[in-house]
Structure 1
Amino acid sequence: MKVLVTGGAGYLGSTLVPMLLNKGHDVTVYDTLSWGVHSLIHVANDTKLRIIKGDIKDRKHIADEIAYQDAIIHLAAIVGYPACDSNPDFALATNISGTKNIAELKSSNQILIYASTGSCYGAINGICTETTKLNPLSLYGKSKASGEEIVQSVGGISLRLATLFGISTRMRLDLLVNDLTFKAINCKNIELYEGDFRRTFLHVRDAAEAFVFALENEQHMSGKVYNVGDEELNMTKLDVAQIIQKLIPDCTITQIYSKYDKDKRDYEVSYRKINEMGYRHEISIEEGIKEMLKLFPFLSVGESLQYYNI
């Protein structure tokens, strides 16, 4: 297939693009390259790869790239509530108007797969399924929920991802597991707030595999929403901190009671719908942390600042 990946140089995109190339697809990365292009250096020699610097808000430019594609994997977004709150108008224009451009420009025979988020749920009692009424509390969650509606209106597939973690060639440290691991290594202390809040997690490589899975099963998945993760990775923030402490025994855990998460992400999620189709995660939190332990000790605090999406 000819596959367009918006945001293809980002944390998830730079992990997904090599997988698509390995499957034999012709891949066009469409990205603002705000974080640079180095995340794609490892696949630059692949003749099936094109890289286009562009913004999904630029309707004419993105239209030219969409026109000859078989599938669009839409990852480009302003991600996380801190980044969205720092520039709300820009976030809304990107996450909603940019998504609307893609949905309106795609033809009926083109596949559209959208990266959504568990932040759409907000604060929910009980187990979240794809039929649970969304209750996003942050601008980020609300913008991604709006994006879902746009994508569903044109028969696209929405993948509601768990909180990602793990190593990527475009690293992020503002993700919970990554951030806590880095601080455990460098500060020997994990400052944890809302430790009893339940989250669900997914390694970035497993998340990328979910998009490959959706592309290969699009006939059965089109027009639907799927939670992407695994019940085994439903756990509290304190559970995660204790796993990290087990692997880094000389770090301490300090619970903070004066901070809170604007997304109020406190929920347990069911992944039965996509698991019954055959999708499974492969990488545990412990394995992801062990990967980070190979690299993070050599990453300075100053250098790390470039890896926070704020």
Structure 2
Amino acid sequence: MMSLHILVTGGAGYLGSVMVPRLLDLGHRVTVLDNFMFGQDSLNPLCANPAFDVERGDCRNEATMKRLLKQADVVIPLAALVGAPLCSRDEIGTITTNRDAVVMLTRLLSKDQRVLMPITNSGYGIGEAGKFCTEESPLNPISLYGRTKVEAEAAVLEHPGAISFRLATVFGFSPRMRLDLLVNDFVYRAVKDRALVLFEPHFKRNYIHIRDVAKAFVHGLDNFEQMKGQAYNVGLSDANLSKLELCQRIEQQVPGFTFLEAAVGEDPDKRDYIVSNAKIEATGYRPDHSLDAGIAELIKGYRMISNSKFSNV
């Protein structure tokens, strides 16, 4: 594969911290633009690599984006406020970063530049019981996060050189770790607290390992002409599970983990659907990491990290 110059916005985040080293290992040049809003140092080991460059800045700044796009063959816009709770706390930041910055990006891109965009399959909202959501299913996002990502996807797919990946709920370890993602969160509670209260336990969703998300983007670069102009669900086809079923899988590896169904209360993230990943699988893509392997990985990782910086013990 030829070497490309790839601009990754938000490249120091949960996904970027896994994807950027992978792209560098494949011989690409990578420039990261990030505002480092979480104070993360996840890209430190890359600074010795001459093919890596980094800039602290904001993807909403048109002058910054114009300058960085001059050298880019490919853009991967990861910069986003991610997840329903964070988005409801900063609605203006969510709209300007998740949607408006992407609309601006598509306006600035030349027709020869490529854009590979992650969105969320939470755009499907609440699916029909027993019926798989495909890329043709109507999008019905319920959260502000879901809505801004769906609107960003529509803008991106108007560009002639675009692929959109509709990601399942991501899990697994990253140098910029997130404990708020469903699998990561549930395993953390199983390991640290041995107990969990489940809201809406029968709500189903699909899951995918973070390294398999990075693999999907590499697959998109490798098969760009075949895949461009389309959206693809990216998830584990054997992991359309309810929250209750997920807890049962975790329990197999964390004996003594107790989970109770709450009679009252609700989950702020209301999504409930099952997803078909047949379209991307038809292009030759296969994930490498199972849900059970990811749970084992998280258990190991949580022996090393603790979220206790705000407590006295």
Name the residue aligned to 1:149.
154
Task: For 2:265 and 2:46, locate their aligned partners in 1 and report how far apart those are by CA, in whole Å.
Answer: 41
Partner of 1:74: 77
Q: For 1:217-244, what per-residue CA distance to the aligned partner results, in whole angstroms no more than 9, with x for missing partners?
A: 1111111100011311111111111111
Task: Say if 2:191 is the partner of 1:185.
Answer: yes
> How far apart are residue 194 of structure 1 and its match?
1.3
- Does residue 137 (structure 1) correspond to residue 142 (structure 2)? The answer is yes
Give the C-alpha shift of residue 78 in structure 1: 0.5
Q: Distance in 2 between matches of 1:15 and 1:266?
A: 28
Counterpart for residue 237 of structure 2? 231
What stretches of structure 2 of length at least 5 have no aligned partner? Answer: none
> 1:14 maps to which residue?
17
Q: Within 5 Å, which residues of 2 pair with 1:231-310?
A: 231-303=237-309
| Aligned pairs, number | 305
* C-alpha distance in 2 between matches for 1:66 and 1:15: 22
Q: Is the CA contact (8 Å cut-off) linking 1:137 and 1:262 kept in structure 2? A: no
Higher helix share: 1
Number of the residue aligned with 2:122: 119
Instruction: Quote the Cα distance in structure 2 between the aligned partners of 1:193 and 1:164.
Output: 20
Aligned to 2:204: 198
Post-superposition offset of 1:37: 4.3
The residue that corresponds to 2:39 in the other structure is 36
TM-score normalized by the length of structure 2: 0.94
Q: Distance in 2 between matches of 1:218 and 1:264?
A: 34
Shift of the alpha carbon at 1:68?
1.4
Query: Separation in 1 of the partners of 2:266 and 2:157?
Result: 32
TM-score between the two structures when normalised by the length of structure 1: 0.95
> Any residues of structure 2 matched to 1:32-111 within 5 Å, and which?
32-111=35-114
8 Å contact from structure 1 (residues 119, 263) kept in 2? no
Q: What is the percent sequence identity of the aligned residues?
A: 40
Counterpart code for 2:201: G
Q: Is the 8 A contact 2:40 2:176 kept in 1?
A: no
Distance 2:7 2:271 in 1: 31
1:124 maps to amino acid = G
* Distance in 2 separating the partners of 1:287 and 1:205: 12
**Comparing 176-185 and 186-195, the one that deviates more:** 186-195
